[in-house]
A = this chain, B = another copy of it.
Amino acid sequence: MTAVSSGPEQAAAGPGGSEVLDRVREFLVGHPTAGADRLAFLRARFDAGLARVDLPPGQGGLGADRDLQAVVEDELRAVGAPEHRPSDNPIGHGMAGPTLRAFGTDEQCRRWLRPLWTGEEAWCQLFSEPGAGSDLAGLATRAVREGDEWVVHGRKVWTSLADRARWALLVARTDPSVPKHRGLTYFVCDMHAAGVEVRPLRQITGETEFNEVVLDGVRIPDTDRVGEVGQGWAVAQGTLMNERVSYTSGTAPRHSGGIGALLAAWHDHPERRTAGLHDRVLSLWVQAEAARLTTARWEQELARGRPGPEGSAIKLEHARLNQEISQVELEVLGDAGLRYPDYSERAPEPVPWTEAAPGWRYLRSRANSIEGGTSEILRTVVGERVLGLPPEPRIDKDVPFSELPR
């Protein structure tokens, strides 16, 4: 009764476990791993439907049960196949892929999904603006139609990976004469197009992890529009929902992440221990373990195809815990907690969280409750969508965007 299984309620229409295994072995016959070119191998794997077996054929999958992906991964790992590294293209995998699959045309899926999955083309998102953060629908970037193209002017902020992205998810206002949620349209923007300028923005860590992106007369072909004109809000909501519940990669082991670093600091600094700090460390351990088990439970529910309301809860708790744990770590460290590795302005190196300096983790964690939906917005999401509490009276929903006070 206690083993994790997909259960009888999920009898998939697609191929079963042994069929999937056959496909992998078949594929490996045609694509031996010894000396394989990584990119060529990944492209072929996508085409064979072994990228993510639960997706439909043609989009990298086989229409199989989601659980069966493990069969593929185990088999490929066993033969030392070239690695797929989704973390190289987080916005591509977490946001662009699901959005294109849900709202894109077949042509768009054909064009973008494979290089997205192989990592050949990285993605970023152009949503937030200086005047439109939590209130995304208040964005002012304009897209004006000229024949088969759209001409875009505007300024986007809080954009990570803009410097190395090939494509961007873009929301722009195509009709300011209607209420704000109704005048938006969703595009894919070529980051190499004329008029796209990426300016690094410096953060409190000293680094330029995020960028400002100026769009100055950027021309986007209408074929790169995603969804109907004026439906941009609905498409963006789909994207953001994916951001907030983006796929995780298996339950982390106990003591991984920040709590492990805190315990290590605790062990290394017996001279800093007090009763109060001891209880606080243990209290954070309890919370971190609760968060870990919550993620595990959510993944089990996902595997059964019944995701619960845990997505937003996981993001909220992740932000709060990262912040509290890294703060207590500085307090445990004492003198060492007063130091910082380097404030000089520079692009960040990607480093695993626990290998970064404690001071950097402390500062960087402050963004966790802002990026990808502020904790305030997420609490409203939980209150309204999970608990069914009524929305606030809105004064900005029925007024043309052009007449709103800003």
Contacts and interface: CB of A to CB of B under 8 A. Distances in A.
Interface of A: 275-276, 278-280, 282-283, 393, 395
Contacts of A283: 276
A309 to B, nearest CB: 25
A280 B278 CA distance: 12
12 contacts: A275-B275, A275-B276, A275-B278, A275-B279, A276-B278, A276-B279, A276-B282, A276-B283, A279-B279, A279-B280, A393-B393, A393-B395
Nearest to A395: B393
| Total copies of this chain within the assembly | 2
A383 to B, nearest CB: 15
Contacts of A278: 275-276
Nearest to A277: B279
A282 B276 CA distance: 9
A75 B180 CA distance: 72
Contacts of A282: 276
Contacts of A279: 275-276, 279-280
Nearest to A393: B395
Contacts of A395: 393
A349 to B, nearest CB: 39
A278 B280 CA distance: 12
Given A275-B275, A276-B279, A279-B280, 6 more contacts: A275-B276, A276-B278, A276-B282, A276-B283, A279-B279, A393-B395
A375 B395 CA distance: 27
Nearest to A394: B393
Contacts of A276: 275, 278-279, 282-283
What are the nearest 9 A-B pairs in CB distance? A276-B279, A275-B275, A393-B395, A279-B279, A275-B279, A275-B278, A393-B393, A276-B282, A275-B276
A261 to B, nearest CB: 22
Nearest to A276: B279
A41 to B, nearest CB: 54
